[in-house]
Amino acid sequence: MMKQKLTNSILLGGLLLGGLAYGTAEARTGATNQSSVGNAKTMSSEKFYDILEKTKPNQLATNFGIPDNIVSIRNAAGVVTGVMWVYHDAVIKGETKMNANFMIVNGEFIYVSLSEAS
């Protein structure tokens, strides 16, 4: 059980560090990736879901860029079990701008949701 928790922690940490390293390298070179939510101001919900459909769990940072916020998710005992990556004003649905929220628990991509931008 302890070995599994250690492995999950290492995977989650590697995913976060990989995403941050990618974003830092991209910022230094001035390169832009038009398919990235983090680099594009806002995209249509159709384009967002098209990119999401082609995204593998280990490609979140590659395809969507560095999130605007990373929020810790804790269990009832207060132990951090995952994170929520939040991209502000990432998707436009009709005339409403939406935030994209990616939930990652124990190093695994669980789901994505859209919420109204604040």
The residues near 94 (Cβ < 8 Å, ≥ 6 apart) are none
Q: Could you say which DSSP state residue 69 is in?
A: E
pLDDT confidence of residue 46: 92
List all residues 6 or more positions away from 56 whose beta carbon is below 8 Å from its beta carbon.
Answer: none
Q: What is the pLDDT of residues 65-98, one digit of tens each?
A: 899 999 999 989 999 989 999 999 999 988 899 9
Q: In the chain, how many domains are there?
A: 1
Measuring CA to CA, how many Å separate 10 from each of 20, 61, 109?
15, 17, 15
CA 107 to chain centre: 12
Per-residue confidence (pLDDT) for residue 55, from 0 to 100? 87
Q: Which of 102, 100, 77, 80 is nearest to 90 (CA)?
A: 100
Query: Structure pTM?
Result: 0.63
Question: Mean pLDDT for the chain?
Answer: 78
> pLDDT tens for residues 50-70?
999 998 878 888 888 899 999
The helix/strand/coil state of 31 is coil
Which residues span the domain enclosing 11? 2-116
